[in-house]
Amino acid sequence: MLSPLAPLRRAEVVAAGLAGLLFVALWVAVVTGAAPLAAIDRGGADWGTREGAAHPWWVPVWTTVSAVLGPVTFRVAAVVAALTAVALAWRGVRRGVAGASAVASTLLFASVTVLVGGLVPVAVKAIVDRPRPAGALVDALQSSFPSSHAFGAATAALVVVTVTKGCLARATHRWLAALACALVVLVCMARVALAVHYISDVTAGVCLAVVWVCVARSLWWVLSASSAARA
């Protein structure tokens, strides 16, 4: 059974702070056109364009990865989680099922974090307005920095790892965390392989997701504690 959210540990706060600093550093480097980062970004985009032209399977494979592990998939899952939370809360009230409200709250946290979080990279994109790589292999909406795919995948991965902690054996939870990280890396690779994002875009997306999930957890914890105190 899913456990109620725990407050952030010091290590998680430090990780969020470091991720935030890296995100800001990337933002500044992108806006100022820092030469070292520009060279790395060009290399990644050129690699995707080159390999896409050389291999007929390249675009279909990476497009499939982008679609299956894309923002739409996670938003649908978030809506399902929200509906499940409502059903559990209703069942808990009517039948007095023990622990139903805690599980419902955790599922609602997961859905709200994913759905509201989807607006975060969109807002940053509008501010930075970075053009997509010139050799993009597929069409993509909005601007390039940060990657919404990387942000969405990292947010979903962090949420899953967070809400399952305490309800899985430690070894199982570690394997789940490793799998979640691998899928995030795969999504990032897909976006660079399709040359619709630079390496700095996907890196920034992941960093922003780490910050967002920690902020969402903190806010949820404060609101839950305040609600419990009033009750």
Q: Give the model confidence (pLDDT) of 152-168 as tens digits.
A: 999 999 999 988 887 77
Coil, strand or helix at 211: helix
Predicted confidence band of residue 197 (pLDDT cuts 50, 70, 90):
very high
57 — alpha (psi -120 to 50), left (phi > 0) or beta? alpha
The pLDDT tens digits of the residues spanning 5-29 come to 677 888 889 999 999 999 999 999 9
Mean pLDDT across 97-124: 83
Q: What's the rounded mean pLDDT across residues 212-225?
A: 84
For the chain, give me the number of helices (H) and strands (E)?
9, 0
- Angstrom CA distances, 82 to 3, 87, 92, 157, 218, stand at 16, 9, 15, 17, 19
> CA-CA distance, 138 to 197, in Å (whole number)?
11
Q: What is the pLDDT of residue 192?
A: 97
Find out whether the peptide bond into 146 is cis, omega within 30 degrees of 0.
Answer: yes
- Answer with the residue of higher pLDDT: 102 or 199: 199
CA 218 to chain centre: 17
User: pTM value?
Assistant: 0.91
The tens digit of pLDDT for each residue in 53-69 reads 999 999 999 999 999 99
125-147 pLDDT, tens digit per residue, is 999 999 999 989 998 888 999 99
Give percent above pLDDT 90 in the chain. 68
Bigger pLDDT: 225 vs 98: 225
Mean predicted lDDT score pLDDT of the chain: 88
156 burial (CB, 10 Å; 0-12 / 13-18 / 19+) is: buried
pLDDT value at position 95?
57
